[in-house]
Amino acid sequence: MIRIEAVTKRYPDGTVAVDRLSLDIPDRAITVLVGPSGCGKTTTLRMINRMVEPSEGRILIDGVDSRQQPVNTLRRSMGYVIQNAGLFQHRTIVDNIATVPRLLGWGKSKSRDRARELMERVGLDPALAGRYPYQLSGGQQQRVGVARALAADPPVLLMDEPFSAVDPVVRKGLQDELLRLQDELGKTIVFVTHDIDEAVKLGTMVAVLRTGGRLAQYAPPAELLSAPADAFVEDFLGADRGIRRLSFFPSAGLDLLTGPVVRADAGAGEITARDTGGAPWLLVTDADGRPLGWTEPGTLAAGPAGPARLLSYGRPFVAGRDSLRAALDCAVLSPTGWAVAVDEEGRVTGVVSQQAIGDAIRAAHATGRGSDGTPDGTSESVCDPAHGDRTPKAAR
């Protein structure tokens, strides 16, 4: 564990960048430092690898003062990723990634083999190995930056706004990739960002800093959203914190109706005989159970439903895996006001109305579920806050 103990940083010009900050950073989890520009995030991060020395206080790594070991040994045991990647423009991609293994005295070919392995890990085409940084896109460069930080398999990863300089689509891809990598690797990651959405999406724990380098709140993201410590944090979280908080409520408890779901080849008799549970719409699926669209019961009884006559079903949510936010989003986007639930393979498991989702939200608030997102990330009730990110392709 990394323990920051009452650390203050006063720069020579008198600026107090960090003020008596104490943080316990849990192992094998992503801890996010978030706050407005100039609040001391970079300074805090750099004190961990001693690129900045604290003026007061100390930092313990697994109980040992970080000043006990030679500074470069410390740094080589911590991957470091920055904005714009900071790649060595004069070295090939593979040699960029092999930097720390080479410093640690691994042989050239072993280092390069390891670098190639990492390129695959972070989703880079191995054909890029011999290229130079200027030949890569911003997103690819950032992936190289991550691979370079992971090359010597350090237990700790320090990331300073690594995804801030890329466009939103690429950023989302990089964030998802980081979560996936973290599932595999279980590093202790300290991640700096000024983007609260990124913090909520990635963080197991989130430390909100205010200007002057003081800690405003340190909590799991769900708790941050449900119980901001003060007006500053609430302000920083932004306007739709209620909606975003739904990301942490599971959709598993929703009552799904299967009555209004019919296969396209069903006979008229079968349809009229159905108990639709009061739903004014029927969802038509193909023979495999994948959704085709909505129709009114009367229309369907008149004859088989061609796709042209169906209303679009919007974007389904995966029941149980996606959050209530995803479910609500589906219902809001659906022309019928009903959300379609599917399983991991994209087959319909039922439908649910806005009304029913609203009831589930109220029930969830009442029992306080969702606010127990635990820092170790093992709680099943914490959903993927990036709702719908992993919707199976078949369901799109």
Partner 1 sequence: MNGLFDLPSDLQHSYPGLVGLHLREALIPVAAGLLLALPVAQLCVRLRWLYAPVLGLTTVLYAIPSLAFFVVLIDYTGQTETTVMIPLAVYSLVVLVPAIVDGVRSVPQETLDAATGMGLGAVRRYFQVQLPIAAPAIVAGLRVACVSSISLVSVGMLIGNQGALGNMLYTGMTYGRPRLIWLSVISTAVLAVAVDALLVLALRLLTPWMPRGGARPARKAAAR
Chain residues 16-35 in contact with ligand ADP, contact rule CB under 6 A: 17
- 55 Cα distance to chain centroid: 34
Closest to ligand ADP by CB, 51 vs 311, is 51
Residues 89-128, one symbol each (x = binds ligand ADP by CB under 6 A, - = not), give ----------------------------------------
- What span, in angstroms and rounded, lies between the C-alpha atoms of 213 and 207? 11
Asked whether position 49 contacts partner 1 by CB under 8 A, the answer is yes
Q: How many other C-beta atoms can be found within 10 angstroms of the C-beta atom of residue 139? A: 20
Q: For ligand ADP, which stretch binds (CB under 6 A), given 39-47, 142-150, 167-175, 183-191?
A: 39-47
Sign of CA dihedral 83, 377, 115, 76: positive
Asked whether position 54 contacts ligand ADP by CB under 6 A, the answer is no
Q: Map 181-201 to HEC letters.
A: HHHHHCCEEEEEECCHHHHHH
Asked whether position 15 contacts ligand ADP by CB under 6 A, the answer is yes
Which of the choices Mg ion, ligand ADP, partner 1, none does residue 90 contact, using the CB cut-off of 5 to 8 A by kind?
partner 1
Asked whether position 84 contacts partner 1 by CB under 8 A, the answer is yes
229: nearest Cα among 239, 240, 243, 215: 215
Sign of CA dihedral 123, 127, 130, 134: negative
Which residue in the block uniquely carries the two structure tokens 């229309």?
Answer: 299
Closest to partner 1 by CB, 133 vs 314, is 133
Which residue in the block uniquely carries the two structure tokens 């430390």?
Answer: 207
Which residue in the block uniquely carries the two structure tokens 């200007």?
Answer: 211
- What span, in angstroms and rounded, lies between the C-alpha atoms of 7 and 33? 15
Q: Are 184 and 215 contacting, i.e. CB atoms less than 8 angstroms apart?
A: no
Residues comprising the chain, all counted: 396
- What span, in angstroms and rounded, lies between the C-alpha atoms of 386 and 234? 20
Which of the choices Mg ion, partner 1, ligand ADP, none does residue 25 contact, using the CB cut-off of 5 to 8 A by kind?
none
Q: For partner 1, which stretch binds (CB under 8 A), given 115-123, 144-152, 335-343, 348-356?
A: 144-152
Asked whether position 11 contacts ligand ADP by CB under 6 A, the answer is yes
- What span, in angstroms and rounded, lies between the C-alpha atoms of 292 and 285? 5
Asked whether position 259 contacts ligand ADP by CB under 6 A, the answer is no
Residues 14-43, one symbol each (x = binds Mg ion by CB under 5 A, - = not), give ----------------------------x-
Of 106, 129, 132, 312, which lies in the binding site for partner 1, with binding defined by CB under 8 A? 132
- What span, in angstroms and rounded, lies between the C-alpha atoms of 142 and 125? 14
Number of residues that bind Mg ion (CB under 5 A): 1
Which of the choices Mg ion, ligand ADP, partner 1, none does residue 89 contact, using the CB cut-off of 5 to 8 A by kind?
partner 1
Chain residues 255-274 in contact with Mg ion, contact rule CB under 5 A: none
Which of the choices partner 1, ligand ADP, Mg ion, none does residue 11 contact, using the CB cut-off of 5 to 8 A by kind?
ligand ADP
Q: Which two tokens stand for residue 211?
A: 């200007």
Binding site for ligand ADP (CB under 6 A): 11, 13, 15, 17, 37-43
Binding site for partner 1 (CB under 8 A): 46, 49, 51, 71-76, 80, 82-92, 99-100, 103, 132-134, 138, 145, 148-149, 158
